[in-house]
Each structure stands twice: as structure tokens, then as C-alpha cells.
Structure 1
């Protein structure tokens, strides 16, 4: 599932292992430098380009996963 991959990327980049699907990126301590790293990981690992505005509009694992799925990206 894409959400599993998104969660793994967030856990790695935010250096946490307890991220839930509905946790807010910013409440977890996310900031712009980490966001750029996550965007790069989405592109490299999932083949999905997620613009910065979409990261702000979709600040949870569940929401950004749904956005990525809407792009037609196949699940890893």
C-alpha cells in the first residue's frame, strides 16, 4: 500500500517510529527542510511528484497517500 511507504518515509525523515495515519506533519515537528527531503523520497521511491502546496494541503500520511494514489501511482 502507498500509505505504508509514505509512513515509512515520514518515520525515517522525522526520525520517529510512532507515526499514525492521521498524525499531522507539522505537529510532529515537520518543517521545510524535512519536507523537501520527503518530496525527494516520494519522487525517488514512489515515482510521485508531490508539489509543496500539496504537502501543506495534505499534512497527514492518509491525506498525502490519497493524493499520491489520485495521480495513478502504482502501489510498491
Structure 2
């Protein structure tokens, strides 16, 4: 549907200013999103890696204790 719309200079300027302002804000938000998405990816990767690191540390640290317990149990069996 094509319909002629009449705008005053004032209305045109207000609309143009709003569009420019929104354009600038969109670009700012996109830049911010891009900056933060890298940080979020790093945090997610660390969130996955940290429990695995803790699990490995516990396994390595507890292995000698478990071996001693097994030897102790073997003596009584």
C-alpha cells in the first residue's frame, strides 16, 4: 500500500535524529556484545575445565592413600 505522507521539516529532523541515535546505540551494543562474548566463552571454558582439574588433583593426591589402604586391607585378608 503506497500512500503519500507529509512531514514537516521539524518532524523530519526529529525522526532523523532518532534514527541516528538508535543507529549509534545499536553499534555500541553490538561492540559491547562482541567484547563480552569472548569473556563469556572463556568463563564457560574455565567452568568446564575447573571441575576436571579438581578431579585430577584429587585422584592424584588420593592415589597414594588408596594404595596404602589397599595394602593395609590385604594384610588382614
The higher-RCO structure (CA 8 Å, 6+ apart) is 1
Larger Rg: 2
What TM-score comes out, normalization by structure 1 length?
0.22
